[in-house]
Amino acid sequence: MYLLRGPHAQSLLKTISRVNRPYKSPNGKVYNYGYIVDFVDIEDKYNTTIESYIKELEVDINENGEEKGSLAGLVVDKEDINKKYHSYKEQLEDIVSVDNMERLSRQITYFNKGTLLKIRCLLNGIKECETEFILSRAMDYAGQIDSEQNKKLLPMVQERID
């Protein structure tokens, strides 16, 4: 979705949520979700709106007087994504060497299914971090992830699991 003008605060969240609706194109392809590619000059309005919305949700959650709930993790900072990425990468490197595809191919033949599932989980986590970086416009952080290597590793690991 491209928007050439910024929506007002009251319609911003409504506009953003539209990309979550399934869409069937005229050629029959079904899109289950979409991405917002760009808004024009709305970063400040977006941040303010999201912050207000989260506060409003927290008030609703905590209305019954029970434990105080927090939705602070709903919008993730690029530094938090980066920490998560490095954690996945370190865990992966503790298990297997991913810098050499041929060596990796030999190594995974010796792993049991549990270890292979853990490797797949870590590779998927790294892939998700890249997506989160891109959606957060943190391209400098996304650039540290070798997505081509990840695209080759995932099927290799999945083939061994199968």
Give tens-digit pLDDT for 93-127: 999 887 778 888 888 889 999 999 999 999 999 99
Give the separation between CA 91 and CA 85, rounded to whole angstroms: 10
Instruction: Average the pLDDT over each of 7-16, 44-53, 84-93 and give the range with the smallest value.
Output: 7-16
pTM for the whole structure: 0.57
Q: Where are the alpha helices (DSSP H) in the chain?
A: 9-17, 43-61, 78-95, 101-108, 113-135, 139-142, 147-161
Q: How many residues does the chain have?
A: 162
Give the separation between CA 100 and CA 24, rounded to whole angstroms: 42
Distance of CA 147 to the CA centre of its chain: 14
Q: Looking at residues 5-23, what average pLDDT do you find?
A: 67
**Amino acid letter, residue 26:** P
Extract the tokens encoding 101.
């595809």
% of the chain exceeding 90 in pLDDT? 22
